[in-house]
């Protein structure tokens, strides 16, 4: 049982096809009835297989009818080499690149596409910087739905674009930014051309909550001091916050980690709002960053993200493209963990905030690394040492590697 409500005015929302409150234009959110969960203890959930649907008492769709690709259940790596290099007590990396389509989006999409089928929709759609489109295309294929994805022209990493095409979505390159594409797809959704599965659809963050449930489960309910994650359209940090709030409401945990959102310097409206102590933000007209996944100037869930940060005594900071690429390589080369640039922003943020003394050296930190390194091979190949060439002889290969 659950209810869709307005985040801003609190009113209940009846129409399942709106993407904002018909009364005040506010953001939508879901209030879960935690009745089923209240009869359980956290360890009871372990009787179910690892993954998003282990947490079905906290999800707003019928688990028996779920469209699932066995998402979630991703590794939580204890990164001792990284912690030593950065000079912090404990770092875990939650590796969301291990999801079926290589990003955390699958957690929300299994719930979102299941909801679309529950409502009898035939076509689903989204605007995307890449990962949402890859994920939606795959889940739509599994669910037998038509899929339309709108992408910012020329700004989507190769792996993501290939995935959306491969799973059979209609891929439309829009002349403009992600923010422009989101405006257009919202319009199509209003005209009932498609069911909108961007994260303004409140069913998406419900699935994304499960990353937080898993982190607690994998740490044996020993709550970390801080969770750091990249912020783009700003729904994921809200989802993580909501997860902790629900478990705290049940008395399953007694504290919530400091949620720390990291944006790229060229796309950092939330960081600027945080620095000014504001609960709302001023959009950025021309966002730019190498981390194309989070190249977003007008984050749809920005106000929710700010609430998550303030309420947990967290933080928001920006990192440069150079810091992102350096962190991406550091994680790969110290831990063997390959993440895409946006995901590396969390590690870059950790390094920066340790340097500034915002994060204490004795903290236990979890970085959520949201997407796989293979999503964006072009950026990786540009930032690495040149490939060596040799004739097919041992001698020549020895010459090449001695260079």
Please report, as ranges, the residues that interact with ligand F0G according to CB under 6 A. Answer: 103, 105, 128-132, 199, 230-236, 293-294, 340, 342-343, 370-371
Q: Which is nearer to ligand F0G, 129 or 218 (CB)?
A: 129
Alpha helices in 194-320 (DSSP H): 203-208, 210-218, 236-249, 269-275, 302-311
Between 230 and 266, CB nearer to ligand F0G:
230
Tokens at residue 284, please? 């950025």
- Cα(6)–Cα(23) distance, integer angstroms: 9
Based on CB atoms, which residue is closest to ligand F0G, 45 or 270?
A: 270
For the chain, how many helices (H) and strands (E)? 15, 12
Pairing mode of beta strands 90-95, 76-78: antiparallel
**Which candidate, 107, 125, 17, 126, places its Cα nearest to that of 67?**
107
Burial class of 247 by CB neighbour count within 10 A (0 to 12, 13 to 18, 19+): buried
Task: Check residue 306 and report its DSSP letter.
Answer: H
Closest distance to ligand F0G from the beta carbon of 134 (Å): 8
d(CA 146, CA 196): 12
In the bound complex, what is the minimum distance in angstroms from residue 327's beta carbon to ligand F0G?
A: 13
Q: Are strands 28-32 and 90-95 parallel, antiparallel or unpaired?
A: unpaired
- For ligand F0G, the closer of residues 37 and 327 by Cβ is 327
Minimum CB separation of residue 257 from ligand F0G in Å reads: 17
Q: Cβ of residue 316: shortest distance to ligand F0G, in angstroms?
A: 12
Q: Which is nearer to ligand F0G, 289 or 343 (CB)?
A: 343
Nearer to ligand F0G, 34 or 329 (CB): 329
Q: Kindly report each contact of residues 35-40 with a partner whose C-beta sits within 8 Å and lies 24 or more positions away, as own/partner.
A: 35/1, 37/246, 37/250, 38/250
**Least distance CB 163 / ligand F0G (angstroms):** 11
User: Rounded to the nearest whole angstrom, what is the least distance from the CB of residue 158 to ligand F0G in the complex?
Assistant: 14
């Amino acid at each position: 049982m659950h209810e869709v409500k307005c985040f801003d005015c609190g009113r209940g929302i009846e129409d399942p096809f709106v993407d904002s409150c018909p009364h005040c234009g506010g953001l939508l959110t879901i209030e879960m009835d935690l009745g089923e969960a209240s009869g359980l203890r956290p360890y009871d959930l372990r009787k179910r297989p690892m993954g998003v649907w282990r947490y079905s008492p906290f999800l707003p769709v019928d688990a028996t009818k779920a469209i699932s690709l066995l998402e979630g259940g991703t590794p939580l790596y204890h990164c001792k080499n990284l912690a030593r290099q950065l000079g912090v007590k404990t770092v875990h990396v939650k590796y969301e690149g291990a999801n079926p389509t290589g990003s955390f989006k699958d957690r929300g999409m299994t719930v979102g596409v299941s909801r679309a089928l529950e409502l009898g929709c035939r076509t689903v759609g989204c605007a995307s910087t890449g990962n949402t489109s890859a994920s939606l295309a795959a889940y739509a294929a599994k669910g037998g739905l038509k899929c339309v994805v709108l992408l910012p022209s020329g700004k989507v990493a190769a792996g993501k674009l290939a995935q959306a095409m491969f799973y059979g979505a209609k891929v439309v390159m829009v002349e403009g930014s992600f923010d422009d594409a989101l405006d257009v797809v919202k319009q199509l959704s209003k005209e009932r051309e498609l069911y909108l599965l961007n994260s303004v659809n409140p069913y998406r963050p419900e699935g994304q909550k499960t990353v937080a449930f898993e982190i607690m489960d994998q740490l044996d309910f020993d709550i970390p001091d801080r969770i750091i994650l990249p912020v783009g359209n700003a729904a994921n940090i809200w989802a993580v916050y909501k997860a902790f709030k629900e478990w705290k409401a049940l008395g399953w945990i007694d504290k919530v980690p400091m949620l720390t959102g990291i944006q790229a310097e060229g796309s950092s409206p939330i960081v600027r709002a945080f620095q000014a102590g504001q609960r709302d933000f001023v959009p950025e007209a021309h966002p730019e960053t190498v981390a194309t996944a989070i190249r977003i100037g007008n984050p749809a869930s920005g106000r929710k993200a700010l609430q998550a940060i303030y309420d947990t005594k967290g933080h928001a900071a920006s990192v440069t493209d150079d810091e992102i690429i350096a962190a991406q390589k550091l994680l790969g080369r110290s831990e063997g963990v390959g993440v895409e640039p946006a995901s590396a922003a969390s590690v870059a943020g950790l390094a920066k905030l340790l340097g500034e003394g915002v994060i204490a050296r004795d903290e236990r930190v979890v970085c959520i690394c949201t997407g796989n390194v293979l999503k964006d091979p072009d950026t990786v190949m540009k930032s690495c040492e040149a490939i060596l060439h040799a004739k097919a002889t041992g001698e020549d290969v020895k010459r090449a590697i001695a260079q």
